[in-house]
Structure formats: structure tokens, C-alpha cells
Structure 1
Amino acid sequence: MMAKSDGGSYFRRSSLFWMVVVTGFLSFYTWMVFWPQDVPYSSLGPLGALAKHFVDYHYPVMYYGWFLTWVIHLFEGVFALKICSDKGIDSSSARLLWFAQTFLFGLASLGLLIRYKPDGRPKRQ
């Protein structure tokens, strides 16, 4: 949705599918890292067996990987701000929305911003 014809306040929400997938994955990952004893592994079928294996044999990688995941999301959010500047999105509210959405949902949001063409040129395939 464009509020102005120049694209200065352009913002588009990520698809609900990706929002649910990313939120579900990061929530489950957080649960496995911080409360592994509470995860019902046996009720989750093959996913539970895989999760249990990672918790039992690769926990330090998962623990530090959790922090790395959020650092990557932070950098993606900052990169979204740079892209907003490059594409002429000058509304502070639109820039804040792009940062927050990209921080929370990563590439699911960043891809929308990268594909945005502010001057109306057709997208390259």
C-alpha cells in the first residue's frame, strides 16, 4: 500500500504464512534452548526426535546459534533501513515498520523491500 505517489511512505506487510512459520520456528527454537526439559519430544514425532538429538548432542551450538540468529535479524533490520534510504522511503513511520518487521521476520520481509521499485519500472526476472 502506498500512501504517497512518490513511495516515501511505502510499506507492505509480509505474508501471514511466513509470519506464522518464522514465529513458530523461533518460538520452538527458544523453547528448546532455554527450557529443553519441558519440550514434549515424544509427542512431536520425527521433529521431536530431531530436536531431542540436537539438544542432547549439539546444545552449545544451539545455544550460541540462538544468539547469532537474533544478531543476524538485527543486521537485516539495519540493512532494511539502508535500503529504505536508497529507495527514497523517507517516512519515519514506514522506516520503523520496515525495521521492526525485518527484525522479527528476516528475509520474509526484506525480500519485499528489495523487490520494491520506487520509480515504477518493471521488476527484473
Structure 2
Amino acid sequence: MTDSYKVGYSVDALDDLREIYSYIANELLAPETATSQLGRIRKEIRSLDFMPARYALVDWEPWHSMKMHQLPVDNFIVYYLVDDEKRAVTVARIFYGGRDIEGIINSNKQTVMELFV
């Protein structure tokens, strides 16, 4: 029996990755930095295939009750859920750590709830 988990991305998380790349490459005019930053983020996400619950739960609602974990990667935070029964990890969102993440989530509760339907 394998101890590994399957790691997947929500549509929003994939959009977040594209936006991170676009901002760094086009706004900051640093495409090589954008490529390496995405590489670091994706490498850390891939590591969630083993012991994904090792990172802390989010402190605020509604995500705390949903058992949303947070994985810091450089200046970004990866938010993800662990389904032990299905041995799956779903990356929900990826945000720049300096943003008001709780405010963003609370203003988009409908989108957040769709992750769990």
C-alpha cells in the first residue's frame, strides 16, 4: 500500500499561478524570475503528496472549519485541502502573502463554497 496522495489544482489555483507568472513577467519585467518562482511554488505543492497535513490549518473562518491548510512558499501562501479517504490533496488558491487574504475570501464566499460541492 502506498502512502502517497494525489495532488490536484482547482481552477482558481491554476488561474492564480497564471496571474502570478503574468504579474512578475509582464509588470515587473522579470520573466526568468517568474519562471523560477512558479517552479518553486509547484515543487512545494508536489511535496504535498507525502504527509500533506504537516502544515498548519488556517486560523479564520470559514476555512478553518473546512480544515484548509496553508503552505508558505517564499512570499506566497498555498491553500489546500486534504482528503484522507480519497488520499487526495486539492490546492484551492495561491495568494501573495502581503494581501488581505481573509478579506478576499470573505468577499468571494460563493466561489469558495463551490470548491466543496
Q: What is the TM-score when the length of structure 2 is the normalising length?
A: 0.34
Q: What is the TM-score when the length of structure 1 is the normalising length?
A: 0.32
Whichever structure has more strand as a proportion of its residues is 2
Structure with greater contact order relative to length (CA < 8 Å, sep ≥ 6): 1
